[in-house]
Amino acid sequence: MLKRSALIVAALTLVACGGDATAASRTTNSAGVNGLRFNGEKVGVSDRPVAVTASSASIWASSVTRGTLSEIDPDTHKRVGAPIRVGRAPYSVHYAFNRVWVAGFRDDTLVAVDPSTRRAARPVAVPDRPFGIADGFGSLWVGGVSRGVVSRVDPATGVVVGAPIVIDGVPHGIATGVALVWVVDIRDNQVVRIDPATGRIAGEPVPVGVLPSAIAVRDGVVWVANARHGTVVRLSEATGQRLGRPIRVAARPVAIAVDATSAWVVSLDGDALTRIDVKTGKADRLPILIGDAPSDVTLTPSGLWVANGKDDEVVNYASGPS
């Protein structure tokens, strides 16, 4: 899966770690954050793009204002065709099982788009204000925030399988690991684990920080971004226990993606992207200032792609080979 593929972002790392261009690149953005100016590619995407994902050949961004999905060619940095109509308020988009899946928050739907034909299938009902999509164990996992549930979806039919799993909280992000489904509960400041074999909660919830908003799992480590505290915490995937101290990032982190060397954290209020070294657990001293109201990030062999809603653009920072 591209979002979890190994990625060495050479250009970003050179600047973030203090290469020759660092002094000339320092600036302060409108949020008052001191950081690095980085000139990446920008693609105009109208109507407030809020979420991004990557298929094998394209980047896909969902726009919340009109409920559309836009395709971007990663080589030309241009949009492909007209936006595709999907569900209302599509806050979550995810590529898996050869389809781009879009959750319509306001109309309780899940829409599958075939990236080869750009055709959207008929929307299927997914309960309780769907927010957050992950894939694993042969299924899709979709959070429902209004009643605190997670639904398991058959990717062949797009239909919910069995009764929704009640987590007794507000799911705000989902990731899958080797054996479990990990769900961020933003209301109770914890992470809940689901056993996919039984469809039941596994073990006790794990406290993580105030307003946990995003989660990623990679190489035995669970990464959780806490929006209120402006921190990232790490958990052992095997035990759920805390690893090290919280890592400070720019204000209100809302998305995180992890590759073999770095964790990349998008901060909505800080208008910034922070890189964390996965080996040392240390964040770079200066974040990268990437635009106005960034809300999501995905990793591909062509680099990082970030949705900047208020700027009506999706930005790409090129990288070296994986």
pLDDT digits (tens, 9 = 90+) for 169-182: 999 999 999 999 99
pTM over 0.85: yes
pLDDT at position 24 is 46
Instruction: State the residue range of the domain holding 138.
Output: 2-303
Residue 61 has pLDDT above 60, yes or no: yes
Is residue 131 one of the residues assigned to a domain?
A: yes
Q: Could you give the CA distance from residue 275 to residue 286 in angstroms, rounded to a whole number?
A: 9
- DSSP states of 17-60: TT-TTHHHHEEE-TT--EEEE---EEEE--S-EEEEEE-SS-EE
**Run of H or E including 16:** helix 10-16
Strands 294-300 and 288-289: unpaired
Is residue 104 one of the residues assigned to a domain?
A: yes
For the segment 206-215, the average pLDDT, to the nearest whole number, is 97
* ∠ CA 219-236-245, rounded to 5°: 110
Range in 10-24, 44-58, 190-204 with the lowest mean pLDDT:
10-24
pLDDT at position 32 is 84
Residue 321 has pLDDT above 50, yes or no: no
**Of 164, 171, 203, 30, the residue nearest 92 (C-alpha):** 171
Query: Exposed e or buried b for every residue in 169-184, given b needs 16+ CB within 10 A?
Result: bbbbbbbbbeebbbbb
Supply 297's token pair: 């990030």
What are the strands, taking DSSP E only, across 138-283? 139-144, 149-154, 159-166, 171-176, 181-185, 190-195, 200-201, 206-207, 212-218, 221-226, 231-236, 242-248, 253-258, 262-267, 272-277
pLDDT at position 191 is 98
Q: Could you give the CA distance from residue 101 to residue 80 in angstroms, rounded to a whole number?
A: 18
Is residue 114 one of the residues assigned to a domain?
A: yes
pLDDT at position 30 is 81
pLDDT digits (tens, 9 = 90+) for 8-33: 233 333 333 333 334 447 888 887 88
Is residue 310 one of the residues assigned to a domain?
A: no
Question: To 10 degrees, the CA torsion angle through 208, 7, 9, 236?
Answer: 20
**DSSP type of residue 301:** T
Is residue 315 one of the residues assigned to a domain?
A: no
Residues in the chain, how many? 322
Is residue 226 one of the residues assigned to a domain?
A: yes
Residue 98 has pLDDT above 50, yes or no: yes
The count of structural domains within the chain is 1
CATH number at residue 188: 2.130.10.10
For the segment 133-161, the average pLDDT, to the nearest whole number, is 96
Query: Percent of the chain scored above 70 by pLDDT?
Result: 91
If you average pLDDT over every residue of the chain, what do you get? 90
Most confident of 6-20, 183-197, 297-311: 183-197
Is residue 313 one of the residues assigned to a domain?
A: no
What phi and psi, each to the nearest 5 degrees, are found at residue 259?
-115, -165
- Contacts of residue 199, Cβ cutoff 8 Å, sequence gap at least 6: 152, 162, 165
Is residue 314 one of the residues assigned to a domain?
A: no
